[in-house]
Structure 1
């Protein structure tokens, strides 16, 4: 069944390529713990946009392949593309209507499409830079590589933007009857809503947001894995134990400010903080500070993170450098040091991006 679906999707992309916008990105990432453990992760994303009236039909699929599991015992997930091998999963599929200052989307989508990521956080490889573990590790939501039925809208007025998404309370990535992103099961999965207010001015960006879930899921015994893996672990427990009908929320603040700019070069500072209101959540507090340098060909960054989990505290630091070899190819080495109650870890990675 998966092979049939993949063949149909490829055919659909190719048939529309001549008249519509088709793009994609391939990322290959090698990991080494500076000892004997290595892993090789590959991610392919294909995007399609078909203009229809005052909007567009949007589709995106993700395809993941890796040689082994994570090379270290960190909790947040040091690699933001690390996931189980996936032949083909839907990341986006639906209709986006556009006005001069607003958008409305209905269909399958995940939280990474619209929230959390900024120019600075997108540079770093650690999973928590893409979505706060107070959310990703505590709820089995539509977070990479999972997706779910979504109603999303945003409105922009001047330098202010408001975004809101309502999701099915659990994300899925399969093609089976009880595991597919088209499911809507509010009685069992609950509902999940994200609201975020943004302000942008002269290169500075500030976010404030809140995420509310109508269910409280049991803390998984393996939830100290990566934020994306933790989300999947909670989902597995969700299949065995019905979640409690208890509403909780997580809130966050984010600030990104240029510190120095001249002739196409800039240094930016970043700080973010998040809490979950339920202390029984897998992760209930997170903070990060960092800075990045940027010019036409290079991006360099340094960040430090703190995450308070139900079973302890994890500290991590990352230094990375992304260099554009051509307009479509970039190379990025990264080094991370991570410490938690299970041990101290170091990991080096080398990532290659290819956009087409």
Structure 2
């Protein structure tokens, strides 16, 4: 299927029409068992008229093992999910005028938030969306999507984003599992905001989420109220080939399942190879989880790279070690 889609993606398309494919496949091992995970993302964009564009994106996930290798709360692989043949990640209309961009329709918030260069290197899910947000609220976090409106204002040094989504994300098409649902009365509402300043290769971000609806209290129970979380991270360019990373986030309610999160890391670049090391701690109700990652990204061609990673995890289950080898292909 991947080969067939790739062949279609390489066909010449009309002007102002864009079609792209991203495929990631990884082999995981805890040195006792194996798990093979695959993610296929397809993106389509068609200009409608001046300033207007139709955007469409999909997600497909497949894995060979029914259970995860490690039941870590932060999830060491940011592409692993249960088998999902096809789900919409984006479907809507974008309006662009100068530095302002507005999108309305179905959207996955991972398209816009926590996408900075250093953060995006690591395979740990906590770098993709901090657990004070992802595990506390049933929002449009990968692979889920929901109806909403996203706005962004981008200048040379600043990027300000704000979004409002249906309070619950979905990955199906029919009934109660459709991202086309907009039901604030039952699903609640989610508002998210971030402000990023970039200069000389460094970036600094402050953001927050305000959520009204059901949120996770202990991992097993839920409560309905208005809650949220704040976060900040900095990616400091020390020398042209070295960046330092600092992350911190806190929940705004004491009854949230994950109340605090913090992480430290660095990324080095040697020729075309990126090497990164990262360690974090997430505080959950009744337990703490520590996770560390050592990874590198090795370009194989302009469209493919190889990424091995080693994860050291300590949580309620004890101490576990997991290794993975990921191949990323983009067309």
Same fold (TM over 0.5): yes
Output one character per residue of 1:308-330: Cα deviation in whole Å (capped at 9) or x when no partner: 01130001110001100111111
Q: Is the Cα contact below 8 Å between 1:279 and 1:310 reproduced in 2?
A: no
- Give the CA RMSD over aligned residues: 1.8
Q: Is the Cα contact below 8 Å between 2:88 and 2:171 reproduced in 1?
A: yes
Aligned equivalents of 1:17, 1:147: Cα separation in 2: 30
Aligned equivalents of 1:193, 1:301: Cα separation in 2: 32
Deviates more, 1:211-220 or 1:42-51: 211-220
Cα pair distance change 1:134/1:345, threshold 3 Å: same
**Selected match of 2:192 from 186, 191, 194:** 194
Cα pair distance change 1:283/1:221, threshold 3 Å: closer
Q: TM-score when scaled to structure 2? A: 0.93
Output one character per residue of 1:321-343: Cα deviation in whole Å (capped at 9) or x when no partner: 11001111111100010001221
How many angstroms does 1:17 deviate by? 6.4
**Selected match of 1:208 from 188, 206, 209:** 206
Q: Is the Cα contact below 8 Å between 2:218 and 2:256 reproduced in 1?
A: no
Aligned equivalents of 2:218, 2:91: Cα separation in 1: 30
Q: Is the Cα contact below 8 Å between 1:117 and 1:131 reproduced in 2?
A: no
After the TM superposition, which residues 1-356 of structure 1 pair with which residues of structure 2 at under 5 Å, given as runs? 18-19=13-14, 20-34=17-31, 36-53=32-49, 54-68=51-65, 69-219=67-217, 221=219, 243-244=223-224, 246-261=225-240, 266-356=241-331
Output one character per residue of 1:147-192: Cα deviation in whole Å (capped at 9) or x when no partner: 0001010112441221000000000001221111010110111100
> Which residue pairs with 1:225 in the alignment?
none
How many angstroms does 1:295 deviate by? 4.5
Aligned equivalents of 2:181, 2:210: Cα separation in 1: 19
Please give the secondary structure, in 1, of the residue aligned with 2:186: helix
Aligned residues: 321
Aligned equivalents of 2:75, 2:45: Cα separation in 1: 31
Q: Gapped runs of 5+ residues in structure 1?
A: 1-5, 223-236
Q: Is the Cα contact below 8 Å between 1:74 and 1:345 reproduced in 2?
A: no
Please give the secondary structure, in 2, of the residue aligned with 1:176: coil
Q: Is the Cα contact below 8 Å between 1:316 and 1:339 reproduced in 2?
A: yes
Q: TM-score when scaled to structure 1? A: 0.87
Output one character per residue of 1:240-296: Cα deviation in whole Å (capped at 9) or x when no partner: x7x52x1011000110011111xxxx1100101000011221211100110001245
Aligned equivalents of 2:24, 2:293: Cα separation in 1: 19
Aligned equivalents of 2:286, 2:60: Cα separation in 1: 33
Please give the secondary structure, in 2, of the residue aligned with 1:138: coil
Q: Gapped runs of 5+ residues in structure 2?
A: none
Q: Is the Cα contact below 8 Å between 1:216 and 1:248 reproduced in 2?
A: no
Aligned equivalents of 1:154, 1:218: Cα separation in 2: 29
How many angstroms does 1:217 deviate by? 2.4
Please give the secondary structure, in 2, of the residue aligned with 1:78: coil
How many angstroms does 1:139 deviate by? 0.5
Aligned equivalents of 1:341, 1:168: Cα separation in 2: 33
Q: Is the Cα contact below 8 Å between 1:332 and 1:352 reproduced in 2?
A: yes
Higher strand share: 2
> Which residue pairs with 1:229 in the alignment?
none
Please give the secondary structure, in 2, of the residue aligned with 1:214: strand
Higher helix share: 1
Aligned equivalents of 1:55, 1:188: Cα separation in 2: 32
Q: Is the Cα contact below 8 Å between 1:167 and 1:191 reproduced in 2?
A: yes
